[in-house]
Amino acid sequence: MTSPLFGQAQSFDKLVDLDDTEGIKHRLPFDFHVQPGEQTTLTVTGSQLFHDALIITSKDGGVELDFDLVVLCPDSRQQFAKRKSYPSKNYNGYSLHQEKRNGWRLEFGKDCVVHAKDLGNPTIELTTASLAWIDLSNSGTLRAKEMVAEHVRINMGGLSSTTLDHVQADRVHITVTGSSDLSIASVEAHSTEVSLSGLADFELDSLVSPNVEFDQSGSSDSNTIDVVTQKLVLSVNGLSNFIADKVQIPLEQAESSVEVSTIDLSGSADVTVQSLRLPQLKMKANGLSDLDVGQTVTNGLKLSAGGSSDVSIKSLSTEQAQIDTSGLADVEIETLDSDEVEIQASGSADVEVQKVTAAHLDVRSSGLSDVSIKSKERTESKADELIQ
């Protein structure tokens, strides 16, 4: 049984397929919650009756659509305007029977008897002037062109799936749990908060937001192509995986921004960023986590690695670099270019740098730790060459 919801612009169509071997479902695995505008209408179309399939209730100032049961009769079409509530059970009476040969049978009177095998594909279309809230659970599927509002909320769980072209708002809150997946082409917002857990999957092509927070746990996965932000707060733990091609500050903000971005890994989390360019960076890796960063440009970096974590940086350009390792942590840096470099290693930690170019270099190690620097070069201050 499937229940996908498709949309053009801010119009949504819901197509319901019921397998007659499963019988008629009293509750389709689909919940859909929107924050509508004043002109919201709900239209049910098809060659047969869409009966007892819809309950509309108020929820936090929005409207919740609950699809319960699809029943088809030959000659009816119904239109419902948005109301505070719609008591579907009072719409019409029916009786449900189970037959050995034909499975389930519904009777709505002498002129309407429907078997499970007779169920077709009715369509629900929801048109709203403003879509700001999506709440999907179970196995619902949603496709929409855009969400434009002051505050956009997307909540997903179960086996649900959502695909969006564009989200634009002052605030965006995204929560994805269970085995659900969310795909968005572009997001523009002042602040963006993303929370992923369970087996959640999140894909995002472009994110432009001065303040970005990512919180991942469980075995969640996120894949982002381009992030433009002044401040990134990233927390990844469990077996979660975060991948980004580019995370960078907008060029027009580079001179004035002093925001501190943080990347925090624990458990067996994996974080991969090919290009990272932010004003100030604090990175912390613990447990069995793995942090892999490509080209990194920042005014200041504080890196802490502990447990059995692995940290790999292809190239690092910064005014100040503070690297602190402990436990069985392993840190590898191909090229490090900085005014001041401080490296501290303890426990059985390993630090390996292929090439360091610095005005000042301070290396300290204790215990069974090892710090290896293949090539060293002294240089003048590079403060004016970084993010300014």
| 120 and 136 belong to one structural domain | no
Tokens in use for 331?
């840190």
Bridge partners of 151? 171
| Strand stretches in 35-138, DSSP E | 41-45, 54-59, 62-67, 78-81, 95-99, 103-107, 113-115, 123-127, 133-138
| 143 and 214 belong to one structural domain | yes
> How many domains does the structure of the chain reveal?
2
Answer for the pair 332, 305: CB distance below 8 angstroms, yes or no.
no
What's the number of CA atoms in the CB half-sphere (13 Å) around residue 85? 5
- Give dist(CA 75, CA 311) in Å, integer: 66
| 304 and 363 belong to one structural domain | yes
- Give dist(CA 350, CA 328) in Å, integer: 7
* The pLDDT of residue 378: 81
| 56 and 183 belong to one structural domain | no
Q: Which residues of the chain fall short of a pLDDT of 50?
A: 1-99, 101-112, 114-127, 129
| 165 and 55 belong to one structural domain | no
Taking only the tens place, the pLDDT of each residue in 65-95 is 444 334 433 333 232 222 323 333 333 334 4
Show contacts of 259-263: CB within 8 Å, 24+ apart.
259/230, 259/231, 260/231, 261/229, 261/231, 261/232, 261/233, 261/234, 262/232, 262/233, 262/234, 262/235, 263/232, 263/234, 263/291
- Give dist(CA 178, CA 201) in Å, integer: 9
Out of 91, 109, 126, pick the residue that ends a domain.
126
Out of 106, 126, 146, pick the residue that ends a domain.
126
Sign of the dihedral defined by the CA atoms of residues 53, 56, 57, 59, in that order? positive
Element (H, E) at 342: strand 330-345
Taking the whole predicted model, whether its pTM rises above 0.75 is answered as no
* The pLDDT of residue 58: 39
| 119 and 193 belong to one structural domain | no
Buried b vs exposed e over 11-50: b needs ≥16 C-beta within 10 Å?
Answer: ebbbebebeeeebbbeebbbbbbbbbeeebebbbebebbb
Name the residue range of residue 105's domain. 4-126
* The pLDDT of residue 65: 47
The phi, psi pair for 382, rounded to 5°, reads -115, 20
For the chain, the straight-line distance linking the first and the last C-alpha, in angstroms and rounded, comes to: 57
| 267 and 306 belong to one structural domain | yes
| 64 and 82 belong to one structural domain | yes
Out of 110, 126, 142, pick the residue that ends a domain.
126
| 77 and 155 belong to one structural domain | no
Bridge partners of 166? 146, 186
| 164 and 185 belong to one structural domain | yes
- Give dist(CA 305, CA 311) in Å, integer: 7
Tokens in use for 210?
């001065």
| 69 and 170 belong to one structural domain | no
| 122 and 137 belong to one structural domain | no
* The pLDDT of residue 141: 64
